[in-house]
Structure formats: structure tokens, C-alpha cells
Homo-oligomer: A and B are copies of this chain.
């Protein structure tokens, strides 16, 4: 399994699709705003950040730096897991405690139900067809309207938003995330060569075809539910998904990547994670957690990432 490197389902116009998508987004100024957020935290500066994502829609984020940082800092842009949001600022103190800025970006429309990590960003894009509950099938009949087109575009622009802040060193931006967040970080790193590294944990949205066939768990299962109702739409659905499959972004990744995978993961099956990892085209490492389910390395992997970035930046 560790060497599993399947064929990628790449549409011919994959690059066109994405360059067009990102170009269209550029019609909207990124308009990054950072409003000081008052909390009794003296060690960090917290900002309620916003920027214009896909379609110019406002996306919420927390931007946190060590208090009174005097120099341009490296910055971790962090993406969130499925059905969660940016949560509370004090959840994101680890990078500032390590001397980095951090920008934690909502996934639009999500975060309405996570009592631990609520979010508040709308997805005004809406649907173009009936949906199965959840985000996985919103607009799935057409790559132009698929939900993750908007999310990935937001995420690419989050890097611009981070770079726009005077405390951030644009040369040292790292993307990061677990599960959906890992998928987004992987996509961003595949779409823009100018991030410094990618931290990708138990990534979701990779090798869709295999995942939906073998996994009995949500959120991949949302797609099965849709296909079970919308008989005959399989071809259209998988065509759409081919524009969003992590395998294709991984194959475009050129920057250093630190992956992690859990061998008992039944949400994002490890074979699909290895499939992405083995396609990653840049320098890479993977940490394997043999006894964990989708939680993966959890805090242990965060410590691993702290070391990884220290070495990366120490090396220049």
C-alpha cells in the first residue's frame, strides 16, 4: 500500500480550468481586512480578518501574531476540517508561540454546527441542482459550479491575504491542514508555486473514485448517497470531481511537503493518502501512524511539524 500510485483521472483542460478560475477571481481585489479583536490575551495580537474569496465573497479568518512582532514573520495559512470553521482565536496559539503568524481560514458555508470550532462564512454561491445534505454534492454536476471550486479559490487567495499583512514575510508562507484542510493545503500548494511548504495531514478529497467505492463513512459517503438517488449521473459526477482530485494537485506540487497518514483511518482510507503522497512531485516525507483512525497524529504531528518547519527555515 505504501507504494500505491494509481493512474490519475486528469481532464485535459485541468490547468486551463484552474488558471481561468483563479484569473476570474482576480477581478475582485483581495481586499484583506484585519480588524483588531479584543481578547484578554497579552502574548498575541488577534485580528478578525476578512478577504474577498471566489466571486468576491467575504471569507472570515483569524490572523494571529506574537504580540508586538517587530519583523516580518513566517506565516502558516491553515485550512479547516469538514463541517468546522475557524473556531476560537485561542485555539490557534501554537504557531504564534513558535514565532509565526497564523491565518486560520473558514471553509465557506461550513462551521454552522461544530460546537468546538464554529465558523461564520457564507457560501452565497448556492446550488445548481438538488443536493445531498452536506457540501460534497453542491453543484457537483458541473465543475464550474462545484462547491470546492469556490473553496479552493478562497484558499488560494487566503495566501494573498496573508501576504498582504505587513507582519508577514511573503516568502515564508506555509499552507497547512488536516483532512479537508489537508486537501485544501494540497490543492493550494499544487496551484501556486510560491508557498514555502505544505503540511498535509490525512488529506481528504484525494482519489475520489477509490474513496467513494471503498469507504462507508461520511463525508465521502455523501457522494454515494447522491449517486444512489441520481441514477445515471455517475459520469458527470466523476468528471466534475476530476478537476478537484488531490492526486492532480499533488502531481503539481513542487515545494517541500510533510504528509501524515493513519493506517486505521476509515474516513480517508490510507491507500488514498498514499496515492496522493506518491504523486507529490516535490521533496516529501510522510509520517505513518499505524494504530490511529482519522485523528491521525493529532498533537504528536503538530510537534513534528514544529520541528520540520524549524529545520526548513533554519536551512533557509
Contact = CB atoms under 8 A, between A and B. Distances in A.
B290 A234 contact: yes
B122 A128 contact: yes
Contacts of A309: 40
Contacts of A226: 112-113
A125 interface: yes
Q: Which of A112, A124, A303 has the most CB of B within 10 A?
A: A112
Interface string A243-283: 00000000000000000000010000000000000000000
A167 interface: no
Interface string A113-144: 11111111111111111111111010000000
A221 B258 CA distance: 30
Copies per assembly: 6
Interface stretch (A17-25, A83-91, A174-182): A83-91
Interface size, A (range):
35 or more
A97 interface: yes
B126 A126 contact: yes
B299 A91 contact: yes
Given A302-B90, A303-B90, A293 B130 contact: no
Q: Is the interface of A mostly helix, strand, loop or mixed?
A: loop
A133 B93 contact: no
A231 B300 contact: yes
A293 B228 contact: yes
Given A43-B98, A123-B126, A303 B112 contact: no
A283 B33 CA distance: 42
A62 to B, nearest CB: 12
Contacts of A232: 300
Interface string A149-161: 0000000000000
A102 B254 CA distance: 41
State the 9 A-B residue pairs at the shortest beta-carbon distance, nearest first: A126-B126, A88-B299, A113-B132, A227-B291, A93-B93, A112-B130, A43-B97, A113-B225, A111-B130
16 contacts: A39-B306, A42-B97, A43-B43, A44-B97, A109-B131, A112-B131, A112-B132, A115-B295, A118-B230, A121-B130, A122-B127, A122-B129, A126-B126, A227-B291, A231-B300, A234-B290
